Amino acid sequence: MKLVAGNSNRPLAEAIAAYLGIPLGKCQVKRFADMEIFVELQENVRGEDVFILQSTSFPANDHLMEMLILIDALKRSSAKRITAVMPYFGYARQDRRTAGRTPISAKLVANLITEAGADRVLTLDLHAGQIQGFFDIPTDNLFSAPVMVRDIKERMANGDKVVVSPDVGGVVRARALAKRIDAQLAIVDKRRERPGESEVMSIIGDVAGRSCLLVDDIVDSGGTLCNAAEALLEKGATEVYAFITHGVLSGGAVSRIANSKLKELVITDSIMPTEAVKVARNIRVLSIDSLMGEAIARTASESSVSSLFD
């Protein structure tokens, strides 16, 4: 087995390699003067089971192209099997047509990865589970819940807690976490007037006198979380935490969250944290290196991956 990493999240790739006890494969990914991407594998991969570690986070198009070129380089170097390990799958929010004459970009990206030559995909907390069906190759969608549950039990063992879904679409994810920590469930009912903006309307469920844990897969602008935190506190919640898998945190999101009423935002390192995230007073990062590393090890040994979440 060999691990090869692009430039999207080197610290996570190195942590996964350390967990597995193997070095990262020697590979050069650089750019020409016109920003064309060039890849050169600097060790033999013929007949190897190769895992490419690459999140398609900002800049999404550059990181996606890096991965496609890495897949092609490995395929032309006679790798036995190529697995695209994508802790964060970019374009996942474009999983359906929201209006006439719009694309389904998540399906396009799935086609690109398949046609480039990947044999399977390993990813984490897809925005919509049905995206697995966009791929014509085996796809494993891992869940960050075990990592978050362990953190919640270690840091918030006492007190009355309620898990909150920031919208109706995330109820299944929130319910699964609530079941793991034996907590009640609540839902934020919001109306989105336009993309990137949201207005909280009401809270479904009893949150008075309880610690609220907002759970979702992606935090981008942070507007929904900040509005939800205010609404929950107005309904009598004692404090509000947010546990989000992918910290996209674009634009002024970090500043917005730092100045919000959120007690703490907990994200994973599926996307490499920026300096602003690292120094923010109320943002904390959990590592998924052991989760991803164990899934890679089980894939390589043809063992069960789904049993990780039993």
Q: Is 125 annotated as a binding residue?
A: no
pLDDT at 180: 93
Q: Is 221 annotated as a binding residue?
A: yes
pLDDT at 117: 97
Residue 253 has pLDDT above 80, yes or no: yes
Residue 286 has pLDDT above 60, yes or no: yes
Say if 2-143+290-309 and 145-287 have the same CATH topology.
Answer: yes
Q: Give the separation between CA 108 and CA 115, rounded to whole angstroms.
A: 10
Q: Is 173 annotated as a binding residue?
A: no
Q: Is 222 annotated as a binding residue?
A: yes
CA 123 to chain centroid? 8
**Among the options 190, 235, 261, 263, which is catalytic?**
190
pLDDT digits (tens, 9 = 90+) for 51-109: 999 999 999 999 999 999 999 999 999 999 999 999 999 999 999 998 999 999 999 99
Q: Is 28 annotated as a binding residue?
A: no
Sorted by where each begins, the domain ranges of the chain are 2-143+290-309, 145-287
CA torsion angle 54 55 61 64 (round to 10)? 40
- Taking residues 8-19, what's their average pLDDT? 97
pLDDT at 268: 98
pLDDT digits (tens, 9 = 90+) for 152-197: 999 988 889 999 999 888 899 999 999 999 999 999 987 666 665 6
Q: Is 36 annotated as a binding residue?
A: yes
- pTM of the predicted model, to two decimals? 0.92
Q: What percent of the chain has pLDDT over 70?
A: 96
Partners of 31 in beta bridges = 37
CATH code of domain 145-287? 3.40.50.2020
- Taking residues 141-151, what's their average pLDDT? 96
- Taking residues 283-303, what's their average pLDDT? 97
Catalytic residue check, 190: yes
Q: Is 180 annotated as a binding residue?
A: no
Q: Is 160 annotated as a binding residue?
A: no
Q: What's the mean pLDDT when you consider all of the chain?
A: 94
Measured CA to CA in angstroms, residue 207 lies from 24, 99, 176, 224, 232 at distances of: 47, 36, 18, 18, 7
Q: Give the Cα-Cα-Cα angle 291, 296, 301 (nearest 5 degrees).
A: 130
CATH architecture of the domain with range 2-143+290-309: 3-Layer(aba) Sandwich (3.40)
- Cβ neighbours of residue 258 closer than 8 Å, sequence gap 6 or more: 280, 281, 282, 283
pLDDT at 224: 87
